[in-house]
Structure 1
Amino acid sequence: MKKLLFSLFGAAISMGTLQAQTDSTQQAPAPETITPVKNAATEDKPIKFNLNENGTHYFQATFLNQIWFRYNESNPGTTVVGEPAAHTFDIGLRRTRIQLFGQISDRAFLYFQFGQNNFNFNSQIAGNRKIAAFFHDAMGEYRITKGNQLKLGGGLTIANGLSRFSQPSIGTLLALDAPVFAQATVDQTDEFSRKLSVFARGQIGKFDYRAVISDPFPINTNGSTPVASTNATFSGRDHHKQYQGYLAYNFWEMEGHNTPYMTGSYLGKKKVLNVAAGIMSQKNALWTKEANGSTKLHNMLLWSTEAFIDTPLNTEAGTALTAYLGYYNYDFGPNYIRTVAQMNPADAASIDPNVSSVSGGGNGFPMMGTGNIIYGQLGYLMNKNLLGQGHGQLQPYATFYRANFNLLNDPVNVYDIGINYLISSHKVKLSFDYQNRPYFNLNNQVNGRRGSYIGQLQLFI
């Protein structure tokens, strides 16, 4: 894997240098932005400070708040602060973020993201390390070539090799929330999917690539005490680097390349079709406890293939299609499994003796594990005059998640249907989502299903 990534680095540098030589008479591309897709006729100006007279050097700020209003049908045995709770209603801040970024010279780019996640009534329990806001990203990069053929960078960054949704632009999502399973080590050996990394990324012809070497955090830095068991868990010893690579081929337009984040929905403002593959590996990342009491270390190897399309259907009516399909193959070691509950409104554990611990309490379900996952999204941007001219657009969507994990005897099928009311593009957006998920019995078979009803207000400037 190391040889593969170093070869990719070398090839990227060689190809980037060659491309730079052949394009030596071209001008560098105009600076991109990571603000929402814009309608030039009506959009307000960004919060942007020019550092030179022509604006090619600049520094910019954005602010995002995603507020959730949620009714959840609890998994059996759920408690809230120790009391049984068959259902819950909570109000929370799913994400509150500030971005500060800029092209500070012809080739140097600086990026910070500061904020917090998952702040609700239940977030201030003792031991929660994410009450305070923190830096999500603090990275810089230098463009080696005149165009985007080769950029080298590093720092605390989400630049990732696994998939599109391992580095999602959360301000432009199609569905209510990002598919967190694609951030496969989230808050285990990383900080909300960010790692201390060095990377090379760029666009050569129709190809978009990135190669990343990360220094993952030890598992005990997330507040847990690592203990080996018969099922694989992240190891408490033997530290190794993580290697990642991602390659996409674009059939139509190239996607933006200002930051490593990847757009969820362009709302028909671009015509994008690409296929991609990604990989992530780490030596001795996990361990198990053997029958004789010794521990055995296991390598982590994760890979994916995916396809993404976002295209206008009728430019006069403003209709558009967004769709995604991905296959993920995860090897975390024997019978690894992890249950995740996004902004859990309840206590993490279930007290029902007939429910498997893999279900968890509140809104949890098994999300990552050794096995394979198929995930898809489909969204349709409706006629811009459906609600009357100037009154925004509707964008219904559906997603499905199907995981076959080695530890479970039934697949994990999770369905979401929802609708976005795009009052002002992604800038002012109301969303409603219904999610249906399974819970499991002691034989690790599906024993029933529960639902969540979530409203979200997104404000993004």
Structure 2
Amino acid sequence: MKKLILLLFLGCFLVPYLGFSQGSPDYTGGLKVKLNEDGSKYFRIISWGQFWARYQDEVPDDVSKTNFSIRRARILTFSQINKDFLILTHFGLNSLNGDNQSPTGKGDSSQLFFHDFWLQYSLGEKHAIGGGLHYWNGISRLNNQSTLNIMTLDNNRQSWATIGLSDQFARHIGVYLKGSFGKLQYRVSVNESGKNTLDSAIDLANPDTFIAGDTYYAGRDLLGSKDAGKNFAGYFDYNFLDQESNFLPYKVGSYLGGKKVFNVGAGFFYHPDGSVLVNDDLTLEGQDVAIFAVDAFYDAPIGKNGSAITAYASYQNNDYGDNFTLGQTYETGSMVYSHVGYVIPNDNKKIKFQPYGSFNLRSIDLIDDNATTFGVGANAYFSGHNSKLTLEYLNTKYGDNDAQSFVTLQAMIYL
């Protein structure tokens, strides 16, 4: 019983691996409210915020080059009445800035919304089934990334490969099965596909507005197809060294040398008739959306005095339909992404410095060209991931377009 209570106590969103407390010497488990004397019935409350100051050189004359924003403001709770049942609720807002904030706090960007809400039932010690608005995603580790311990300033955008297309902010409504067989962990799901997509600007009532040769991510509405109403996803990773927790779905970005982890994974996302191709005669043809990836993650202490390395690499193949493109973010083609960071040796256990670099190369079918993104930055940890500053320079180039550069400073605290 004592071991079970300890597992429940540590198995929270902020501590995705037993013994890992986000690299903070001050962290003692967060806020846990006991509902009975021995603590086996409880609920947890976690809150965090990320504030950005960003400089962009290439902007119109009437736009400021420096802008402030609340990148994330979140609250997460979960509770158990016994080891067999769990309920999780996660809500907040994202990217609130001077352009989208509301004068009365009632605008869309000012409103809190559910990121996650799911119920889970245990199927023994190593397996569970659940349902709701969930984050048990497929494709890759970065499509399951925790936003609290990302090593780079933010997640690689194209790795969150379905946001606004079939889901609500990287979460689907559906059922999932997750667990482990020895060192192999798995998560698979069957989900409802959202009808209101980022392609919803299409005038469904007026087919004459369709452009021949274009592909739209609006399969269910445009085709009237029930087959486009469901999608399927899965991710599988083999833990060669220390075992990561899969108590909750959020993958750790950097352990800061707190564990020795080497994982190799593979995943997929499949949405039959998720996209629609407009033929030359303006007839519509269903297109299956199929995305898959392979990746590898390594994090380990090296040398003495707290030095550590974090490295990640992935290959992702994106098929959103013939020559699909939307906002230079979702595009049919392929992607190679990698990042590496190094924790500098330091006798001070509270303060750590971690320079890093990242690289993203995408091959895009529609333009028959590439897009590249290169980033360098550094994290200053004052209490592990619980309190940190991040400074990053990012340069991105899309085909023949001029390169865009950004310098961003992030302040983050979570409790």
* Structure 1 and Structure 2 fold alike (TM over 0.5): yes
CA–CA distance in structure 2, aligned partners of residues 128 and 41 of structure 1: 40
Contact 1:104 1:110 in 2 (8 A): no
Quote the residue 1:434 is aligned against.
393
Indicate yes or no: 2:340 matched with 1:369. no
Unpaired runs of 5+ in structure 2? 205-209
Equivalent residue for 2:301, pick from 293, 304, 312: 312
Secondary structure at the aligned position of 1:166 is classed as: helix
Equivalent residue for 1:114, pick from 81, 91, 105: 91
Per-residue Cα deviation, 1:25-50 (whole angstroms, up to 9, x for no partner): x9798221222542686334511112
CA–CA distance in structure 2, aligned partners of residues 310 and 158 of structure 1: 23
Per-residue Cα deviation, 1:279-320 (whole angstroms, up to 9, x for no partner): 110111001211112111101010000000111113x41111
Indicate yes or no: 2:118 matched with 1:139. yes
Secondary structure at the aligned position of 2:312 is classed as: strand
Distance 1:338 1:222, change over 3 A: closer
Indicate yes or no: 2:242 matched with 1:243. no
Instruction: Please tell me the root mean square deviation across aligned C-alpha atoms, in Å.
Output: 2.2
CA–CA distance in structure 2, aligned partners of residues 367 and 109 of structure 1: 35
Quote the residue 1:150 is aligned against.
127
Quote the residue 2:314 is aligned against.
326
Indicate yes or no: 2:380 matched with 1:421. yes
CA–CA distance in structure 1, aligned partners of residues 246 and 281 of structure 2: 52
- What is the CA-CA distance between 1:411 and the residue it aligns to? 0.9
Secondary structure at the aligned position of 1:411 is classed as: strand
Equivalent residue for 1:255, pick from 237, 241, 244: 244
Letter in 2 for 1:164: R
Equivalent residue for 1:338, pick from 321, 326, 332: 326
Indicate yes or no: 2:344 matched with 1:382. yes
Distance 1:268 1:390, change over 3 A: closer
Letter in 2 for 1:333: G
Letter in 1 for 2:299: D
Residues matched between the structures, number:
392
Letter in 1 for 2:374: Y
- What is the CA-CA distance between 1:226 and the residue it aligns to? 5.5
Secondary structure at the aligned position of 2:248 is classed as: coil
- What is the CA-CA distance between 1:106 and the residue it aligns to? 1.7
Quote the residue 2:40 is aligned against.
56
Quote the residue 1:275 is aligned against.
264
Secondary structure at the aligned position of 2:264 is classed as: strand
Quote the residue 2:291 is aligned against.
302
Indicate yes or no: 2:415 matched with 1:453. no
Letter in 1 for 2:254: S
Letter in 2 for 1:404: S
Secondary structure at the aligned position of 2:256 is classed as: coil
- What is the CA-CA distance between 1:53 and the residue it aligns to? 2.6
Distance 1:226 1:263, change over 3 A: farther
Contact 2:334 2:363 in 1 (8 A): yes
CA–CA distance in structure 2, aligned partners of residues 318 and 255 of structure 1: 20
Per-residue Cα deviation, 1:343-374 (whole angstroms, up to 9, x for no partner): xxxxxxxxxxxxxxxxxxxxxxx232111000
CA–CA distance in structure 2, aligned partners of residues 312 and 71 of structure 1: 34
Secondary structure at the aligned position of 1:130 is classed as: helix
Per-residue Cα deviation, 1:358-409 (whole angstroms, up to 9, x for no partner): xxxxxxxx23211100000101111132xxx355110111111000010123
Indicate yes or no: 2:393 matched with 1:409. no
Secondary structure at the aligned position of 2:158 is classed as: helix
Report % sequence identity.
27
Letter in 2 for 1:129: D
CA–CA distance in structure 1, aligned partners of residues 4 and 352 of structure 2: 37
Contact 1:373 1:402 in 2 (8 A): yes
Contact 1:219 1:226 in 2 (8 A): no
CA–CA distance in structure 2, aligned partners of residues 175 and 40 of structure 1: 18
CA–CA distance in structure 2, aligned partners of residues 260 and 295 of structure 1: 37
Contact 2:199 2:217 in 1 (8 A): no
Secondary structure at the aligned position of 1:269 is classed as: coil
Letter in 2 for 1:294: T
CA–CA distance in structure 1, aligned partners of residues 101 and 29 of structure 2: 37
CA–CA distance in structure 1, aligned partners of residues 334 and 370 of structure 2: 10
Quote the residue 1:72 is aligned against.
56
Secondary structure at the aligned position of 2:108 is classed as: coil
- Using the size of structure 1 for normalisation, the TM-score is 0.80
